[in-house]
């Protein structure tokens, strides 16, 4: 297996897992928020996990709400495009996290191998 295919497989697996995890955390947060008060009932671990999983997306939505571009009162005819845009942004976020985690992990492994002295100069 070449190095390029290792990157592609690693990024695809992490992207898929991150996407499913993000959708699951979002649906869990939404189901809790629908039934009770959000501030008191959502566990701290769920708040932290959702914040990490959706960090860039939360930032974009916050900036859109400040500028008045977006809002939560979306007309009925825009539900499908907004939902598709949300899923696309979640997928793009998962892809970015996949690249970041693979490159970080590969860098740390290379750094650890070089520090241990297992790589020797052939000359």
User: How many CB atoms are located within 10 Å of the residue 18 CB?
Assistant: 20
Q: In whole numbers, what is the pLDDT of the chain averaged over residues? A: 75
For residue 94, give Cα distances in angstroms to 9, 43, 113: 14, 23, 28
Q: Would the pLDDT of 2 be above 70?
A: yes
Question: Within 10 Å of residue 43's Cβ, how many Cβ atoms?
Answer: 11
Q: What is the pLDDT of residues 13-40, one digit of tens each?
A: 999 998 988 888 777 776 776 666 656 6
Res 53: pLDDT: 73
Is residue 11 within 8 Å of residue 99, measured between CB atoms? yes
- What number of other Cβ atoms are within 10 A of residue 49's Cβ? 17
Residue 66 has pLDDT above 60, yes or no: no
**pLDDT score, position 68:** 53
């Amino acid at each position: 297996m070449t190095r390029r295919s290792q990157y592609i497989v690693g990024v695809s697996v992490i992207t898929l897992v991150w996407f499913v995890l993000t959708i699951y955390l979002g649906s869990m947060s939404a189901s809790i928020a629908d039934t009770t008060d959000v501030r008191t009932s959502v566990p701290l671990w769920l708040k932290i996990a959702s914040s990490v999983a959706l960090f860039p997306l939360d930032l974009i939505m916050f900036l859109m709400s400040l500028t008045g571009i977006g809002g939560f009162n979306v007309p009925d005819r825009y539900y499908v495009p907004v939902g598709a845009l949300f899923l696309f942004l979640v997928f793009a976020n998962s892809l970015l996290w996949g690249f970041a985690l693979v490159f970080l992990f590969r860098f740390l492994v290379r750094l650890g191998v070089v520090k241990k002295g297992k790589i020797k100069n052939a000359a």
